[in-house]
Amino acid sequence: MQENNIELIVPGHHGKERLDVYLCGHLPSVTRAKIKKLIDDNDVTVNELPTKAGHIIRPGEIIKIKFPDTPKSTLEPEDIPLDIIYEDDYLLVVNKQPGMVVHPAYGNKTGTLVNALLAHCNRLSDVGGQTRPGLVHRLDKDTSGLLVIAKDDVTHVELAKQLSARKIEREYRAVVWKHLKEKEGRIEAALARHPKDRIKMTINPEGKQAVTHYKVLEELPLASYVKLNLETGRTHQIRVHMASLGHPVFSDSTYGGRGKQLAGMNTERTKFVTRLLKKFNRQMLHAKSIGFVHPALHKMMRFDSDIPGDMQELLETLRNSGV
């Protein structure tokens, strides 16, 4: 097992900056509060000496960060089956089922992926905080597919750095409404919280940069089957980007993938689509594959998952519909 510490060397071209600010920029998944606690507890040294958060870093200085053993979580472990694609001493890759909430929050205290992970693992990283142990990234409740989970803080930080540097490969599959004019393209549109509905995201030039690549794999009656690759991983990115093109993800109630699609349809199509929306009532989005450099083994790892049963059934139903 690797030691739970990280070493950073301040590059020669780096200007004046506070130590805590520098660490926040270079450890994107570690909260400011945790960085402050690490410094206050003398778990951060500069040239082998403990220092203060306000220390002004200088080129060539060696910063070492020691992550203490993760405290036992106060969350309740639950014996919930997990579809584990890969596991070693450092991380897991899990295929999340649709309908499973990733971590406990208001209204979802139990039955989450984190509750299941706590029952499966002896330990998980604490970088993301006590309510999100192990989570390097997340998926929406109704989105299925692959997630990488970190067992220790160093693994978590190294994976998060790859994520921030856009070095983690992520490929999705989705069923979206109608046929796209351009069968392949790049969507670049910054995202921010909706000003009136805090649950939703919206395109906003003042928001965080977001880039999605898409390619139509198959045109179906009323819909398209699409491959999507992420450069960035913003909240609801694919769902908002596809809706912005006028092609929301099938059955996505938040971004126009349900009732709005019935407008202008004849009676036969309206009845058919109404039946589909009732049967397939979650957004048809699946995180199919993921690739990253293993932080401890230092080799490229790639994992793939099957399209979930409900999405396969929807595709077959559309192919055979004749509408």
Q: How far apart (Å, rounded) are the C-alpha atoms in residues 116 and 78? A: 5
Element (H, E) at 314: helix 309-319
Q: How far apart (Å, rounded) are the C-alpha atoms in residues 150 and 252? A: 30
Nearest to 277 by CA among 223, 201, 227, 240: 223
88 is catalytic: no
Q: What is the largest CA-CA distance in the chain?
A: 75
Catalytic residue among 20, 69, 79, 140: 140
Looking from the CA of 292 toward its CB, the CA atoms found within 13 Å total 27
Q: Which two tokens stand for residue 226?
A: 């699409």
Looking from the CA of 62 toward its CB, the CA atoms found within 13 Å total 7
Q: How far is CA 301 from the centre of its chain?
A: 17
Nearest to 100 by CA among 84, 115, 85, 79: 115
CB under 8 Å to 151, separation ≥6 — which residues?
Answer: 89, 90, 91, 92, 121, 123, 124, 125, 134
The residues that are catalytic are: 140
